[in-house]
Amino acid sequence: MKIIYEDKYILIVYKEAGIPSQNDSSNEKSLMETAEEYTKAPVCILTRLDRPVKGLVLFAKDKNTAQKLSQMIQNHKITKIYHAIVCGKVEKDGHIESFLLKNSRLNMSKTVNKGNIGAKLAILDYKLIEEKNNLSKVEINLKTGRHHQIRVQFASIGAPLYGDVKYNPEFKHKRNVTPALCACRLEFLHPVTGIKVCAEIDDDLEMK
């Protein structure tokens, strides 16, 4: 487990693609289990990543800190920055706001109308970093944290993520590929000490 930031109250670690953030039906060892082995105590996960997605995951070491961080996330006081490579061209600056509905049986989500029962508002902003060979690299400021949000919302504007077998038809029947997506930066004021925390990693995403 690669630790990016740690103090008495919080732990930020790097999750590799393919590892579950927390326990699931696969019974494979999760990042949360590894974190608890390291701390020798229960931890609370605050930023979950889809199994095939790599990047930073935030844990709290106690319930009080977890409650404060959870409230900060709800109030958009934690900046969550992702980098992704999408297929096609996108605007230089964009805002995507839609309602998503999760299908637990298929483990997928889709965009729906506002009035649909169970639909949740999903918001993100993005900016173009680079274009190459009909691919676009973008930086995403994730405002909400819905199920498969980034993957679904970019697919909904005709720019599905490169390597995404669930939402990009080009990769639907391919194996050993993962979405070109990385949670590469977390920024916030520490809920206990008040200091600014900025955890950042290289995305390692290559334009083909």
Note the pLDDT tens digit of each residue in 50-97: 999 999 999 999 999 999 999 999 999 999 999 999 999 999 999 999
What are residue 109's phi and psi, to 5 degrees?
A: -130, 160
The confidence band for 207, taking pLDDT boundaries of 50, 70 and 90, is confident
Q: Is the dihedral of CA 172, 176, 180, 186 positive or negative?
A: positive
Bridge partners of 188, per DSSP, are 197
Q: 0.75 exceeded by the pTM?
A: yes
Dihedral-angle region of residue 194 (phi above 0 means left; psi in -120 to 50 means alpha; beta otherwise): left
